[in-house]
Amino acid sequence: MSRPNITLYTAQTPNGIKISMALEELGIPYKFEKIDIAKNVQKEEWFLKINPNGRIPALTDTFEDGQTINLFESGSILQYLADQYDPEHKISYPKGTREYYEVNNWLFFQNAGVGPMQGQANHFSRYAPERIEYGVNRYVNETRRLYGVLDKHLSQSKSGYLVGDHISIADISLWGWVAAAGWAGVEIEEFPHLKAWEDFIAKRPGTEKGRHVPSPHTMKDLIKDKAAADKLAAESRAWIQQGMKEDSKK
Ligand SMILES: N[C@@H](CCC(=O)N[C@@H](CS)C(=O)NCC(=O)O)C(=O)O
């Protein structure tokens, strides 16, 4: 089996589109399978064999020995793609360089900070069965604080990227989250450098192709349409609450 032999298991979410954006930036072939998270397909037995955590994204590939490797956690998948398929350092920097470690800073900042905090801001603002002010304020404010850290860092960037002189998996990892700021109740206009970075990354052909996998990326328009946003939030609330019930039985 020749490499790459990639299948991406994904959905139209910030964590899902970061992987298709990276694959498009690399320009390598891949297949993708849409996982209907609203139907809890991510919790089915066949999927748990790929990602025991029951979340998208996940990715399979074939190693040199012909064995399949299962990858999960978006940060781990991005590092795998950079290690295995980026000899020209299109989305990474050579191991051991200062930039290599700086990319890791922002990659972990996204995976351990922005993602979880903004995810909870979404949850308490949009999906909780009742409005709990403390939860809403805690997570929206923490997301805003993290955006402030990014905004300050980007105000000092000469290239416009988070690290060095070209795009990296750090930028790719954050873009979908920042593009969805309004969904979490965060006004991106409060953060002019971050907003400029969002627009800058949006113009890349890799972003434009990757963000529409596995279905059109409509988040920016959705945020502006209150009725459509409320409808989606209500639909999402139903499956998220159902999924939480199923998870708590395990
Ligand atoms: N830390 C994980 C988070 C993955 C995650 O939470 N994925 C969400 C979509 S963005 C998901 O699969 N949700 C479905 C569910 O909660 O059952 C990563 O970075 O891959």
pLDDT in tens, 150-183: 999 999 999 999 999 999 999 999 999 999 999 9
Q: What atom of ligand 1 comes closest to residue 15's alpha carbon?
A: 10
Residues within a 6 A CB radius of ligand 1: 13-15, 37, 42, 55-57, 73-75, 111, 115, 243
Cα separation values, 181 from 15, 33, 62, 210, 243, Å: 14, 26, 36, 19, 24
Q: Where are the domains of the chain?
A: 7-85, 98-210
Q: For the residues of 147-163, what is the DSSP string, one character each?
A: HHHHHHHHHT-SSSSSS
| pLDDT 10s digits, 84-101 | 999 999 999 999 999 999
Closest CA to ligand 1's atom 2: 73
Distance 159 CA to ligand 1 centre (A): 31
Q: For the residues of 19-61, what is the DSSP string, one character each?
A: HHHHHHHHT---EEEE--GGGTGGGSHHHHTT-TT--S-EEEE
Contact 178, 117 (CB under 8 A): no
> Which amino acid, 74?
S
| pLDDT 10s digits, 123-147 | 999 999 999 999 999 999 999 999 9
pLDDT of 2 reads 82
Average pLDDT for the chain:
96
pLDDT of 247 reads 84
Would you tell me which CATH number, out of the four given (1.10.30.50, 1.20.1050.10, 1.10.3720.10, 2.30.29.30), belongs to the domain 98-210?
A: 1.20.1050.10
Q: What atom of ligand 1 comes closest to residue 43's alpha carbon?
A: 17
- For the cut 80, the answer to whether the pLDDT of residue 9 exceeds it is yes
pLDDT of 192 reads 98
Confirm whether pTM is higher than 0.85. Answer: yes
Contact 98, 175 (CB under 8 A): no
CA separation for the pair 75, 59 (Å, rounded): 12
CA separation for the pair 179, 173 (Å, rounded): 11
- Interval 94-112 mean pLDDT: 98
pLDDT of 115 reads 98
The structural architecture, per CATH, of the domain 7-85 is 3-Layer(aba) Sandwich (3.40)
Res. 249 pLDDT band, cuts 50 70 90: confident
CA separation for the pair 77, 83 (Å, rounded): 10
Maximum alpha-carbon separation in the chain: 54
Cα separation values, 92 from 68, 149, 172, 190, 194, Å: 24, 22, 11, 29, 21
Residue from 17, 56, 177 to probe ligand 1 pocket by mutation (most atoms less than 8 Å from CB): 56
| pLDDT 10s digits, 16-57 | 999 999 999 999 999 999 999 999 999 999 999 999 999 999
Residue from 17, 55, 127, 177 to probe ligand 1 pocket by mutation (most atoms less than 8 Å from CB): 55
Residue 117: both structure tokens together: 């905090």
